A and B are shown apart, each in its own frame.
Chain A
Amino acid sequence: MPETSYAVLGLFNTPDALMQAIPKVRASKLGTVEAYTPYPIHGIDEALGLRRSPLGGMVLVMGVLGAITAFGFEYWISAIDYPIITGGKAASSWEAFIPIMFEVTVLFATFTAGLGMLLLLNKLPFFGHPVLSSKSITGITRDRYALALEAENDAFDSAAAARALQEAGAVEVEILPAPDRSPFLTSDYIMRTLGGIFAACLVSGLAMYFATKWFPLLPPMKYIQDQPRLNAQKASTFFKDGHGMQPPVPGTVARGYLPTATGTQEQAASLLNPLPRTKAVFAMGHKVYVNRCEVCHGALANGLGSLTAAYGGKPANLQSQQFRDYPDGKLYWAIVNGKNAMPSHAPYLTEQERWAVVHYVRALQRAQNAKDEDLKVVAP
């Protein structure tokens, strides 16, 4: 034969004729015998000597796998990863898992039966089969029954095959040439693509898992509860003394606890006023002085406030030489701690307000004892 042929098709008009022809054609031993029919014919499997379909076993295995998968998934979630007591049942009680186990079993088994039959056993989709492009295919999917002698090797004799089919009773014979190009979308291609995607997912998933596990340089975000930490009353392996809670560095001051003006007034003499002499500071000092100090010490700080006449007290005359010579620190100490009949003003004056008052008192003292040079400073 000059041209290679794929197979020879013989057409029959009735299933009886087909069934009677099968043993004769098989006996000729010219090639693989295959039948093409519009619907399944009873007994043709035995006549063609086909092996039993392995689909049942495949479905059984995958169905059992589905049941195990569903049970494992449900158990892991409900009893291990996210145990929540529902209806007073133990987190590991398995009875309620059965409905979903059943559904997943059916799902796995169904897709194995359907896709396993199509993709794995029948190798469909396959658009390049020579029978599909034959003239006989319109009869095969309608009402005619075809028997094919398919080439097993290059020695296939299509003329002898055609003769054998005609002798067996075929009403028409068609020689199918070998396909001249490879089919583009076959089940093998689909399976390989799907397998490749699956393998890629598996490999990258495992790689991610182990990468994050073995290389903790970039630990993934963790929940606070799971973060490494030292619980109360637990020994530390990090510090030499083994204490989890370390004492603060010497000299540390807690917020709001600055140890100013604590000792005696003499000790406080060395404190310096931290505030600059600005308009805002004087305004603040003025406001505080008017609110807190003026009633006793008087608007001019000369100890003649409006309350002194009523009570007969003798508040300090801040204009006296003694107080004009006081360092800022001693005035500050008196504001914070109080002196003689004067109570402490610390509870309701902030650090800044106290020092601002000191500035303001200094301004009052200077205003009452102004010299000629002072005018020059003010003049522009």
Chain B
Amino acid sequence: MQAEAAIPAGAIPDGLIEPALTIGRVTPGSLDDQVLSFPETRPPKQWYLALAITLTAALIGVGCIGYTFYLGIGAWGNTSPVFWAFDIINFVFWVGIGHAGTLISAILFLFRKRWRNAIARFAEAMTIFAVICAVIFPLIHVGRPWLAYWLFPYPNQRALWTNFRSPLLWDVFAVNTYFSVSAMFWYLGLIPDIASMRDRTTSKFRKVIYTVLAMGWRGAATHWQHYEKAYLLLAGLATGLVLSVHSVVSFDFATSVVPGWHMTIFPPYFVAGAIFAGFSMVVIVLVVVRETMQLKNLITMRHLDVMNKVILALSCIMGYSYMMEGFTAWYSMNEYLHHSFMNIISGTYGWAGWLTISCNILIPQILWFKKARSSYFWMIFVAIGVTIGMWFERFVIIVISLHQDYLPSAWRIYKPTMVDFGVLLGTFGIFFTLVLLFARVLPVIATTEVKAILPDAQPSHHGDDHHA
């Protein structure tokens, strides 16, 4: 285009110039020195303090799970007709947290959003840890977890097979696939970084471990070619997968006939909610990591700003979904559905319904202001609010729908026990314990990916999107 060519490079309007993704001068070497040195140094005292807190929480959870095994599911508040309660709420909650990681690492990769490179590694790690926390709940909810392998279709002497028309079996496949694919994606991304750590470490012990983990990666151009192709394919596959996993989770509810569950909006509504909750968790963790690990030049306020914009957009989608739920209840003229919806806004658990709406829809609207998006206080406030709100959203969906269904004589108020809260606390402990360990053992930023988008990282004569 002649008209475009006529404009000199310096004449691009300010608003159209992509701001730099790093602050100050960052070179591939300085990046390695900054990021890969964490595993080589002793953690500060605060790290040990944080680990002590999270490990205590994790141990409380393990104790509560052990008590559940000893006593049975009766240790929880679950009772007729609310047979699904904290266990399934927490399962859906944690699987949802994981979805942000896959969105950042896969979907934003396909969209060529280069800001994702600095935060993708941490988000992917959080995906894996969140799925680990999520898987705990179905396992302990089966009551006899030592028989949980019965969930898989395998030839057995009882000549029984699993029911492939059950959404719960779809869940087994979806969550296992999700975990395998996330782990594979994460590990492939780590290989070149581990190779960098292998070649810079002076400790023999670390050298052996990194050598094995890096599989002899040597950065050959022929390898990079296949590697990039594999990464692109994995991103494409994970994109479809992340959309399917929470859809399948929503099928657990949507394919049933319980009023309040039986709605076609559930799959997209669940996926949006999952990414919403996950992004909030990523913001919370990134702010802490950015401050405590001196990564301000790599995880910039711009990253957080973009993340907050995504949260705002998802909040609006959630608001639409909530309104659609109400609209469906009204427009269907189905008295059961109507009753179920009225329970959300005015029933015994009406406070939970309003807490959900306030935390997920009202509070994130602060992010319309640029000041809020660049303020730690407000973004943490919103993120914690969304985390609480999204947990209560699952509470609303599961408990409110179940506690009053078609048979009024079976209605009952559900009350969780201390063991329920203990297990929930425990999974938070496990999650943050794994996050803390990860932050000190593996590169928290995908150095290889960030190197590739640094200024002057690519040959100047090639490509058109690499303005220095």
> What residues of chain A have their CB less than 8 Å away from a CB belonging to chain B?
14-16, 18-19, 34-45, 48, 50, 53, 55-56, 59, 73-74, 77-78, 81-82, 84, 86-87, 89, 96-97, 99-100, 102-104, 106-107, 109-111, 113-114, 116-118, 121-122, 124-129, 131-132, 137-138, 140-143, 223
Query: Known pairs A89-B165, A143-B27. 9 more at Cβ < 8 A?
Result: A35-B221, A40-B225, A41-B459, A59-B233, A100-B173, A117-B226, A122-B227, A132-B216, A142-B28
Q: Inside 8 A of A37's CB, which chain B residues have their CB? A: 219, 221, 224
Are A40 and B224 in contact, CB atoms less than 8 angstroms apart?
A: yes
Q: Inside 8 A of A122's CB, which chain B residues have their CB? A: 220, 222-223, 226-227
Interface range for B: 35 or more
Q: A36-B220, A82-B160, A131-B218 are in contact. Are A41 and B458 (CB under 8 A)?
A: yes
- With both chains docked as a complex, state the minimum distance between the C-beta of B254 and any C-beta of chain A, in angstroms: 12
Are B459 and A142 in contact, CB atoms less than 8 angstroms apart?
A: no
Are B216 and A126 in contact, CB atoms less than 8 angstroms apart?
A: yes
Are B460 and A16 in contact, CB atoms less than 8 angstroms apart?
A: yes
Within 8 A of A (CB), among B160-177: 160-167, 169-170, 173-174, 177
A-B contacts, 27 of them at CB < 8 A, read A15-B456, A19-B459, A36-B220, A37-B224, A39-B28, A39-B224, A39-B451, A41-B458, A43-B462, A44-B221, A45-B225, A53-B229, A99-B251, A103-B170, A106-B177, A107-B181, A110-B181, A117-B188, A117-B227, A122-B222, A122-B227, A124-B217, A127-B216, A138-B200, A140-B218, A141-B196, A223-B159
Are B459 and A138 in contact, CB atoms less than 8 angstroms apart?
A: no
Best-buried of B170, B215, B221 by chain A (most CB within 10 Å): B221
Are A81 and B161 in contact, CB atoms less than 8 angstroms apart?
A: yes
Are A77 and B216 in contact, CB atoms less than 8 angstroms apart?
A: no
Among A41, A56, A78, A111, point to the contact of B164 (Cβ < 8 A): A78
Binds A, one of B10-18, B67-75, B234-242: B234-242
Best-buried of A36, A48, A141 by chain B (most CB within 10 Å): A141
At the interface, yes or no: B248 with Cβ under 8 Å from chain A?
yes
When chains A and B are docked, how far (Å) is the Cα of A128 from the Cα of B185? Answer: 26
When chains A and B are docked, how far (Å) is the Cα of A256 from the Cα of B216? Answer: 84
- The prevalent SS among residues of A at the interface is helix
At the interface, yes or no: B461 with Cβ under 8 Å from chain A?
yes
At the interface, yes or no: B437 with Cβ under 8 Å from chain A?
no
Q: Inside 8 A of A97's CB, which chain B residues have their CB? A: 164
At the interface, yes or no: B246 with Cβ under 8 Å from chain A?
no
When chains A and B are docked, how far (Å) is the Cα of A43 from the Cα of B198? Answer: 27
At the interface, yes or no: B230 with Cβ under 8 Å from chain A?
yes
At the interface, yes or no: B29 with Cβ under 8 Å from chain A?
yes
Among A55, A110, A131, point to the contact of B237 (Cβ < 8 A): A110
- With both chains docked as a complex, state the minimum distance between the C-beta of B262 and any C-beta of chain A, in angstroms: 13
Among B32, B160, B227, B248, point to the contact of A40 (Cβ < 8 A): B227
Contact bitstring B445-464, A, C-beta under 8 A = 1, else 0: 00011011000111111110
Q: Inside 8 A of A73's CB, which chain B residues have their CB? A: 153
Among A42, A59, A110, A141, point to the contact of B463 (Cβ < 8 A): A42
Q: Inside 8 A of A114's CB, which chain B residues have their CB? A: 184-185, 187-188, 230, 234
Q: Inside 8 A of A44's CB, which chain B residues have their CB? A: 221, 224
Are B174 and A99 in contact, CB atoms less than 8 angstroms apart?
A: yes
When chains A and B are docked, how far (Å) is the Cα of A122 from the Cα of B385? Answer: 46
Q: Inside 8 A of A15's CB, which chain B residues have their CB? A: 456-459
When chains A and B are docked, how far (Å) is the Cα of A215 from the Cα of B303? Answer: 70
Are A141 and B27 in contact, CB atoms less than 8 angstroms apart?
A: no
Q: Inside 8 A of B448's CB, which chain A residues have their CB? A: 38-39
Among B153, B199, B241, point to the contact of A77 (Cβ < 8 A): B153
- With both chains docked as a complex, state the minimum distance between the C-beta of B247 and any C-beta of chain A, in angstroms: 8
When chains A and B are docked, how far (Å) is the Cα of A43 from the Cα of B458? Answer: 9
Best-buried of A37, A89, A110 by chain B (most CB within 10 Å): A110
Q: A99-B244, A124-B216 are in contact. Are A36 and B163 (CB under 8 A)?
A: no
Q: Inside 8 A of A141's CB, which chain B residues have their CB? A: 192, 195-196, 198-200, 217-219
Q: Inside 8 A of A125's CB, which chain B residues have their CB? A: 212, 215-216
Among B188, B221, B248, point to the contact of A36 (Cβ < 8 A): B221
- With both chains docked as a complex, state the minimum distance between the C-beta of B61 and any C-beta of chain A, in angstroms: 29
Q: Inside 8 A of B216's CB, which chain A residues have their CB? A: 124-129, 132
Q: Inside 8 A of B167's CB, which chain A residues have their CB? A: 99
Are B180 and A110 in contact, CB atoms less than 8 angstroms apart?
A: yes
When chains A and B are docked, how far (Å) is the Cα of A106 from the Cα of B170? Answer: 14
Are B452 and A55 in contact, CB atoms less than 8 angstroms apart?
A: no
- With both chains docked as a complex, state the minimum distance between the C-beta of B166 and any C-beta of chain A, in angstroms: 7
Within 8 A of A (CB), among B356-414: none
Among A50, A87, A143, A223, point to the contact of B222 (Cβ < 8 A): A50
Are A39 and B181 in contact, CB atoms less than 8 angstroms apart?
A: no
When chains A and B are docked, how far (Å) is the Cα of A326 from the Cα of B215? Answer: 106
Are B452 and A40 in contact, CB atoms less than 8 angstroms apart?
A: yes
At the interface, yes or no: B228 with Cβ under 8 Å from chain A?
yes
Best-buried of B198, B220, B457, B461 by chain A (most CB within 10 Å): B220
Are B221 and A143 in contact, CB atoms less than 8 angstroms apart?
A: no
Q: A106-B237, A111-B184, A143-B27 are in contact. Are A42 and B458 (CB under 8 A)?
A: yes
- With both chains docked as a complex, state the minimum distance between the C-beta of A36 and any C-beta of chain B, in angstroms: 5
Are A43 and B251 in contact, CB atoms less than 8 angstroms apart?
A: no
Are A39 and B218 in contact, CB atoms less than 8 angstroms apart?
A: no
When chains A and B are docked, how far (Å) is the Cα of A338 from the Cα of B28? Answer: 117
Q: Inside 8 A of A48's CB, which chain B residues have their CB? A: 221-222
When chains A and B are docked, how far (Å) is the Cα of A328 from the Cα of B375? Answer: 117
At the interface, yes or no: B211 with Cβ under 8 Å from chain A?
yes
- With both chains docked as a complex, state the minimum distance between the C-beta of A185 and any C-beta of chain B, in angstroms: 9
- With both chains docked as a complex, state the minimum distance between the C-beta of A340 and any C-beta of chain B, in angstroms: 67
Chain B residue with Cβ nearest A117: B230
Are A34 and B184 in contact, CB atoms less than 8 angstroms apart?
A: no
Q: A43-B462, A81-B161, A114-B234 are in contact. Are A103 and B196 (CB under 8 A)?
A: no
When chains A and B are docked, how far (Å) is the Cα of A106 from the Cα of B153? Answer: 18
Chain A residue with Cβ nearest B228: A40
Among A45, A113, A131, A138, point to the contact of B230 (Cβ < 8 A): A113
Q: A77-B161, A100-B170, A129-B216 are in contact. Are A110 and B226 (CB under 8 A)?
A: no
- With both chains docked as a complex, state the minimum distance between the C-beta of A98 and any C-beta of chain B, in angstroms: 9
When chains A and B are docked, how far (Å) is the Cα of A116 from the Cα of B27? Answer: 32
Q: A36-B219, A102-B244, A117-B227 are in contact. Are A142 and B32 (CB under 8 A)?
A: yes
Are B165 and A56 in contact, CB atoms less than 8 angstroms apart?
A: no
Are B184 and A110 in contact, CB atoms less than 8 angstroms apart?
A: yes
When chains A and B are docked, how far (Å) is the Cα of A106 from the Cα of B242? Answer: 11
- With both chains docked as a complex, state the minimum distance between the C-beta of B463 and any C-beta of chain A, in angstroms: 5
- With both chains docked as a complex, state the minimum distance between the C-beta of A289 and any C-beta of chain B, in angstroms: 59
Chain B residue with Cβ nearest A89: B165
Among A19, A50, A129, point to the contact of B225 (Cβ < 8 A): A50
Are A140 and B219 in contact, CB atoms less than 8 angstroms apart?
A: yes
Q: Inside 8 A of B212's CB, which chain A residues have their CB? A: 125
Among A39, A107, A143, point to the contact of B180 (Cβ < 8 A): A107
- With both chains docked as a complex, state the minimum distance between the C-beta of A79 and any C-beta of chain B, in angstroms: 10
Q: Inside 8 A of A42's CB, which chain B residues have their CB? A: 458-459, 462-463, 466
Within 8 A of A (CB), among B137-180: 153, 159-167, 169-170, 173-174, 177, 180
Q: Inside 8 A of A140's CB, which chain B residues have their CB? A: 199, 218-219
Within 8 A of A (CB), among B6-43: 27-29, 32
Chain A residue with Cβ nearest B230: A117
Are B237 and A143 in contact, CB atoms less than 8 angstroms apart?
A: no
Q: Inside 8 A of A132's CB, which chain B residues have their CB? A: 216, 218
Q: Inside 8 A of B198's CB, which chain A residues have their CB? A: 141
Q: Inside 8 A of B238's CB, which chain A residues have their CB? A: 110
Q: Inside 8 A of A56's CB, which chain B residues have their CB? A: 229, 233
